Chains A and B, each alone.
Chain A
Amino acid sequence: MNWFLQQSINGLALGSIYALIALGYTMVYGVLRFINFAHSDIMMLGAFAAYFLAPIMVRVFPAQSYSGALAVTVLAAVICAIIGILIEFLAYRPLRRRPKLTVLITAIGVSLFIEYTCQHASVFGAATRPFPKLVPERDFQFGGLSVNSSDIGVLIVTALLLAGLWWIVQRTRVGVAMRAVSFNERAAALMGVNINRIISFTFGLGSALAAVAGIFFSMRAQGIEPLMGVQPGLRAFTAAVVGGIGNLPGAALGGILLGLLETFAGGVPALSNYRDGISFAILILILLFKPAGLLGKPQVEKV
């Protein structure tokens, strides 16, 4: 029982990080109908932004304080939002009227470009760097169960960000415009929606979430390197598809499901070797029975 609870905690914390990244994939898909493969690298850039900001923030805020951590996270999120908007502006916008496949391949190109530029010795270099401690960490013990404060933190922050995102999309004018663009881009433009601005906003918001995910990911595994985004990015993309791509709660659900599956498969001695195989096999089964994802609605493609 203890084993089960402990693995559930591990899985929930890991799943929340996947959920945060998956939200970015699903939001961009919602408005532009393509997968932004560079999203996982934004997550890596978020972690590196925090890595470089933390020593600067120590001068302003006391070391390992919540205010300092908040400042680092917000600034990293802003930096990543700007990078995300720039990527869309430079790489995707010129191709907006081209076939979706062109944009998709460009996205892969942008992703590889970021990864390998950052690996160059004069940028970040390929070596793993120790991620600084942003907040004092505590381990809580509940009769054999141990919960790290960062695990609780990531759960709470994910829940808050998800609620905030839901509010933005459902209750604000920008959110209405986002949904309108997602529904029919041309009609939205005719109704006076500034499409470019909405798409930039979506990229910025998704990238800011990726930055937060990157920081939490690095707090759990305190070594960062330019390729750190690849694995979680792939999982988060899968999570977004399983949840129903384009659907916000679906992405969160998919992320948490994938985190739990991976943790339970990885925690069984004879199976830990096949961890990813098992979790992805289950995900394929889900998609076989629900092709549009858990919360996605089946769509008829207009030809």
Chain B
Amino acid sequence: MQNVYLTDTGRKVRRWFWPSVGLLCALLAAGCKKSNEAPATGGGDSGGGGGVIKVGEFASLTGKEATFGVSSHEGTMLGVEQINSTGGVLGKKLELLTEDDLSKAGEPATAVNKLISRDGVVAILGEVASSRSLEAAPICQQSQIPMISPSSTNPKVTETGDYIFRVCFIDPFQGTVMANFAAKTLKAKKVAIFTDVKSDYSIGLAKFFKQGFLANGGQIVAELDYSGGDKDFKAQLTEIKSAGPDAVFVPGYYTDVALICIQAKQLNLTAPLFGGDGWESDQLVKIGQDSVEGDYFSTHYAPDEDTPQSRSFVAAYEKRFSGKEPDAMAALGYDSVMILADAIKRAGTTDGPKVRDALAATKDFACATGKTSINAQRDAVKPAVILQVKDGKFKYIETVNP
């Protein structure tokens, strides 16, 4: 038996050949099944034939920022269903085609190209993360297809061109809000900033926070960087700790932030951590547990806000998604499709340039996150809210108007 492989190689390879082919076929079949299902989940109820208006959505349904993508997608889906149940737009039903971009760079371009050239959508909704919206924006601009980002806050997104809109505030505002909050409410004099260098959102927000905090007479004692997806932050946190800040600004996304909070506590860094809307996910508390307790972040919306639109949205969302409380991403996803439907109605056509003009003219449209107007930079002008993690829940602290 010792020399079996020396002489019998040919036979052994043949013995493995057919089982391997069988396995490969099974896998291919599984793969195909998945790709068939993907559009169906986002499809909603569509009318038949030419009686539909196709709207494309690209979202991070899986991967690092999955809860953002899923929340936003659920909000969008709810919006589409509500519009269709009340007769649709221009007598046609909306059909939502959703592509998952796996929270990865490179995927949005593929997804959006596919939606525009293969599916022929009239508008694109997405994405939450600024880096990924920035990737899709030039494609939409070139094809003259209006794109509405529900919650990308980096200013560069809408600077791409006149077909790119957003329904949320931008980071210069959010950064200033958090700078004022740190200086006035937290009474911090010395702040350290810990930035994700892989994310346009994080870099932008850190920059605007720094400007705002320095303008408040504060001092930035340490500026360190990490790279999104890292697991070990102790090197940088040790340096931050030795700088002795009163608070640490971490403008990142929730998965990284949760690990940063845990390791900060392990290093006995007691200063509170605070950040932006990238924090708002129930995963932050699930992963971070006690370590995120007491920390603050700014976001777009608190579900206990009291307007008729907000209340009816919260009720409808909870009913549709079995009691799940909507977060800011869900509300903004809902708003993005509502504003799009309103613009198509006013334009009276799905023609790209006309819809674009109608979107740009949006004024005081009542949304789930409050009255929305689109300004000359194609950004929404909206208040920000500040929340605190308290007993594993997000507690409303204050609203800051622009």
- A residues with a Cβ closer than 8 A to B are 2-3, 6-7, 10-11, 14, 90, 93-94, 96-97, 119-121, 125-130, 137, 139, 141, 146, 148, 186, 189-190, 192-196, 217, 220-223, 225, 227-228, 231-232, 262-269, 272-273, 275-276
Binds A, one of B2-10, B77-85, B210-218: B2-10
Supposing A96-B5, A146-B267, A189-B3 touch, asked if A130 and B286 sit within 8 A by C-beta, the answer is yes
Q: Are B62 and A11 in contact (CB under 8 A)?
A: no
Is A269 a contact partner of B13 (Cβ separation < 8 A)?
no
**A126 near B62 (CB under 8 angstroms)?**
yes
Q: List 18 A-B contacts (CB under 8 A).
A: A3-B239, A6-B242, A96-B9, A125-B62, A130-B287, A139-B268, A192-B2, A196-B4, A220-B232, A223-B231, A223-B259, A231-B229, A231-B230, A266-B235, A266-B236, A267-B239, A273-B197, A275-B235
Does B202 touch A at the CB level, under 8 Å?
no
Distance (whole angstroms) from the CB of B379 to the closest CB of chain A:
29
Residues of A within 8 A of B234 (CB): 10, 14, 263
- The reply to whether B287 and A127 contact each other, CB–CB distance below 8 Å, is no
The residue in chain A whose Cβ has the minimal distance to the Cβ of B16 is A94
Which residues of chain B have C-beta atoms less than 8 A from A225's C-beta?
64
The reply to whether B231 and A231 form a contact with Cβ atoms under 8 Å apart is: yes
Docked Cα-Cα span, A10 to B241, in Å, equals 14
* Cβ distance A3 to chain B, nearest Cβ, rounded Å: 5
* Given known A-B contacts A119-B62, A121-B62, A264 and B259 have beta carbons under 8 A apart: no
Stretch at the interface among B220-228, B330-338, B385-393: B220-228
* Chain A residues whose CB sits within 8 angstroms of the CB of B67 once the complex forms: 127
A187 to chain B, nearest CB (A): 12
How far, in angstroms, from A189 to B262 measured CA to CA in the complex? 52
CB pair B287–A222 under 8 Å, yes or no, is yes
Contacts of B2 in A (CB 8 A): 189-190, 192-195
Q: Which B residues touch A97, using CB under 8 A?
A: 5, 9
> What number of residue pairs across chains A and B have CB atoms under 8 A from each other?
125
Classify the secondary structure of B's interface with A: helix
**Which of A11, A221, A232 has a CB less than 8 Å from the CB of B235?**
A11
The answer to whether B268 touches A228, judged by C-beta atoms less than 8 angstroms apart, is no
Report how far A266 CA is from B102 CA in the complex, Å. Answer: 28
Expressed in whole angstroms, the minimum distance between the Cβ of A26 and any Cβ of chain B is: 22
Interface residues in B81-132 (C-beta closer than 8 Å to A)? 102-103
User: B238: which of A10, A192, A265 is its contact (CB, 8 Å)?
Assistant: A10
Bound-state CA distance A7–B241 (Å) is 12
> Which residues of chain A are within 8 angstroms of B225 by Cβ–Cβ distance?
272-273
CB distance from B15 to the nearest CB of A (A): 8
> Could you tell me the distance in whole angstroms from the C-beta of B228 to the nearest C-beta in chain A?
11
For B197, the chain A residues whose CB sits under 8 A away are 273
Which residues of chain A have C-beta atoms less than 8 A from B289's C-beta? 130
Q: Which residues of B contact A268 (CB under 8 A)?
A: 239
A125 partner residues in chain B, CB cutoff 8 A: 62, 66
Q: Counting chain A CB atoms within 10 Å of each CB, which of B16, B63, B235, B268 scores highest?
A: B235
- The answer for the CA separation of A2 and B243 in the assembled complex, in Å, is 12
> How far apart are A86's CB and chain B's nearest CB, in angstroms?
13
| Contact across chains for B231 and A228 when beta carbons are under 8 A apart | yes
Q: How many whole Å from A215's CB to the nearest CB in chain B?
A: 13
Q: Closest CB-CB distance, B324 to chain A, in whole Å?
A: 16
Contact B258 A223, beta carbon cutoff 8 Å: yes
Q: How far is the CB of A118 from chain B (nearest CB, A)?
A: 12
Q: Is B307 an interface residue (CB 8 A)?
A: no
Q: How many angstroms between the C-alpha atoms of A243 and B97 in the bound complex?
A: 51
Given A3-B242, A127-B66, A231-B229, 8 more pairs with CB closer than 8 A = A6-B267, A127-B62, A127-B67, A190-B2, A193-B2, A196-B4, A217-B231, A267-B236
User: Using a CB-CB cutoff of 8 Å, which residues 247-275 of chain B contact chain A?
Assistant: 255, 258-259, 262-263, 266-268
Contact A264 B235 (CB under 8 A): yes
Alpha-carbon gap, A222 to B236, bound state (A): 18
Interfacial chain B residues near A232, Cβ < 8 Å: 231
Report A110 CB to chain B, min CB distance, Å: 12
0/1 interface trace, chain B 35-76, chain A, CB 8 Å (1 if under): 000000000000000000000000000111011000000000
1/0 contact string of B1-32 vs chain A (CB within 8 Å) = 11111100100110010001000000000000
State A221–B229 Cα separation when bound (angstroms): 11
CA distance A14 to B237 in the complex (A): 14
Please give, as numbers and ranges, the residues of chain A lying within 8 Å of B13 by CB-CB distance. 94
Shortest Cβ distance from B262 into A: residue: A222
Set A2, A94, A217: member contacting B12, Cβ < 8 A? A94
B259 touches A10 (CB 8 A): no
Q: Which residues of B contact A222 (CB under 8 A)?
A: 259, 262, 287
Closest to B235 in A: A266
Complex CA–CA separation, A193 to B138 (angstroms) = 63
**CB proximity of A98 to chain B, nearest CB, Å:** 9
9 smallest beta-carbon distances between A and B, as pairs: A266-B235, A221-B231, A126-B62, A10-B234, A267-B235, A263-B235, A273-B225, A130-B287, A146-B268
Given contacts A97-B9, A128-B287, A272-B225, contact A7 B238 (CB under 8 A): yes
- Give B333 Cβ to nearest chain A Cβ, in Å: 18
**Using Cβ atoms and an 8 Å threshold, which residues of chain A touch B266?**
137, 139, 146, 148
Expressed in whole angstroms, the Cα–Cα distance for A31 and B287 within the complex equals: 40
Question: In the complex, A264→B258 CA distance in Å?
Answer: 23
Q: Indicate if the CB atoms of B235 and A7 lie closer than 8 Å.
A: yes
Chain B residues, CB < 8 A from A139: 266, 268
Say which residue of A10, A130, A141, A220 sits within 8 Å of B231 (CB atoms). A220
Nearest Cβ on chain A to B269's Cβ, whole angstroms: 9
Nearest Cβ on chain A to B220's Cβ, whole angstroms: 10
Neighbouring B residues of A231 by C-beta, 8 Å: 229-231
Query: What separation, in Å, do the CA atoms of A10 and B12 have in the docked complex?
Result: 49
A200 to B270 Cα, complex, angstroms? 49
A125 to B1, CA, bound (A): 43
Give min CB distance, A124 to chain B, whole Å.
Answer: 11
Q: Which of B1, B64, B262 contacts A128 (CB 8 A)?
A: B64
**B399 on interface, CB distance cutoff 8 Å:** no
Q: How far is the CB of B238 from chain A (nearest CB, A)?
A: 5
When C-beta atoms are compared, the residue in chain A nearest to B6 turns out to be: A189
Interface residue B283 (Cβ < 8 Å from any Cβ of A): yes
Min CB distance, A15 to chain B, in Å?
Answer: 11
Q: Which chain B residues border A120 with CB–CB below 8 Å?
A: 34
Q: Is B229's CB under 8 angstroms from A223's CB?
A: no
